[in-house]
Structure 1
Amino acid sequence: MTQHSVMKGAEPFYFPGNEIGVLVQHGFTGTTQSVRELGEHLAKAGFTVCGPRLKGHGTHYTDMETATHADWMESAEAGYRKLKESCKHIFVVGLSMGGTLALHLAHRFPDTKGMVLINAAIQMEQMEQVAQMEEPRFLDAIGSDIKAEGVKELAYEKFPLKSVRELLQLMNLTREKLSAIQCPALIFASTEDHLVPPDNSQFIYDQIKSEDKKIVSLENSYHVATLDNDKELIKRETEAFVRRLIPS
């Protein structure tokens, strides 16, 4: 079996800091490159930041075919556990499927201090239709949905049909958990998103039981908002959210 190396820029990252830990997760077919800038900003703010590389991602798209939704959940949980080794309070942040995983973690670890979701995926009819297909084995890329000119996401140029079914299972499982999630939530939603329908964010907002929750509309970004025109807003609001919830 071919061993593929990790693409330059797709490496996991870990920035040691104070006792406030922030887990920053990339999305489906993407890499840590899409959230590294946000992670670096949070690290400069003094927090301990972990950006795991989800299994099957950041190497070659054929590697993704062997990864399951359970593997992705374990990748996320491993990052969470790593932060728990040195941090007293943990926040979970995620872009797209990374947001889906952040919801999973908030349910799995009820002591999560807060979650930040960026165009999180919870229901995608288009993917449900794709999942009914029997071929081709690999589909054309869905990455780099970015409004800003000249900006490109480091993501696979193709992705496995099998992985679509794994994504749907992850979203289905996560939808069932929403009503049990109570931690504070900051939800970013691009008004124009060509991959995840913006109403996903509203659905999450309506279903979670958090008393402290807020939706922030991103008026000038598409799906990969962490690399897009509103990235500075995301950085500022996320840092402020974490600071507000830190016990004095």
Structure 2
Amino acid sequence: MKIVAPKPFMYEGGKRAVLLLHGFTGTTSDVKRLGQFLHERGYTCFAPVYKGHGQDPLGLISTDAQDWWQDAVNGYNHLKKSGYEEVAVAGVSLGGVFSLRISSFFPVKGVVSMSAPAQKKSKDDLFKRIIQYAERFKKFEKKDEASIASEMEDFNKLPMDSLSELQDIIVDTRERLSIIQAPALILRGMKDDDMYIDSADVIYNSIHSEQKTLKSYENSGHIITTGPERESVFEEVFQFLEGLDWKE
């Protein structure tokens, strides 16, 4: 069964633009409904797809965190080149890391970080994420259990050099948090792993934004943009964006 690769989406609305960034091993589906929600309320939203994501697992491990980071930067530049002078950025998980990172390098109207890690994840945890991604992909291809087991045995032996780079970019972004002065909204799900819950406090306490808010969602896990409290998340993000000092 041939899998159609996910595509970036661009919802053109008003002059207020929002860059939306998905997570590691995720796709634009992580932020699609948020984008639709904001677009219905007048915002222009653009979400890129990181290289190797939503494709054959071999494509994922043949790319690395620098590739994915460049895709996020290219997304920001795409909005700028499209004529949007003011850009806010919002992301979930790795997208939350990239949102913070963009805010430390480029001018943004505001930044929304959701479920972002601020501590180095173990290679074992990251390796498990890739393995789970590969297994899901092969099941989606309608392969039988014996074929999946055989292919996964070979896949497990492949080098995963991208994991070290991903660790490094998370640590480097944490070291850049004090640079951030843009208004910030930090969101976390309280049913997420402790590392992500604790990271929200680290981010909130480390950024130098005069306007910053930390909000917790008691019934949400990691990808809070698709979880049971997603509508509340969408409204929180919308109200944050509405409170920014846009020119128009």
Return the offset for 1:5. 6.0
RMSD, aligned CA: 2.6
Return closer, same or farther for 1:193/1:130 CA change in 2, 3 Å cut-off.
closer
Conserved? CA contact 2:88–2:111, under 8 Å: yes
Conserved? CA contact 1:18–1:87, under 8 Å: no
Return the offset for 1:183. 0.6
Conserved? CA contact 1:142–1:195, under 8 Å: no
Conserved? CA contact 2:87–2:108, under 8 Å: yes
Q: Are 2:132 and 1:140 aligned?
A: yes
> Which is higher, the Rg of structure 1 or of structure 2?
2
Match of 1:87 in 2: 84
Conserved? CA contact 1:96–1:196, under 8 Å: no
Deviation string 1:62-121 (CA, Å, 9 cap, x unpaired) is: 111121221111100111011112212100000000000001100110x20100111012
Pick aligned residue for 1:13 from 4, 9, 15: 9
Q: Are 2:72 and 1:76 aligned?
A: yes
Listed as ranges, the gaps of 5+ residues in structure 2 are 137-151
Conserved? CA contact 2:89–2:110, under 8 Å: yes
Q: How many residues align?
A: 225
Return closer, same or farther for 1:81/1:118 CA change in 2, 3 Å cut-off.
same
Superposed, which structure 2 residues align to 1:77-116 within 5 Å?
A: 77-85=73-81, 86-109=83-106, 111-116=107-112
Match of 2:142 in 1: none
**TM-score normalized with structure 2 length:** 0.83
Return closer, same or farther for 1:46/1:130 CA change in 2, 3 Å cut-off.
closer
**TM-score normalized with structure 1 length:** 0.83
Match of 2:178 in 1: 179
Q: How far apart are the structure 1 equivalents of 2:194 and 2:11?
A: 30
Listed as ranges, the gaps of 5+ residues in structure 1 are 145-156
Conserved? CA contact 1:48–1:83, under 8 Å: no
- Identity value in percent: 34
Conserved? CA contact 2:116–2:196, under 8 Å: no
Return the offset for 1:124. 4.0
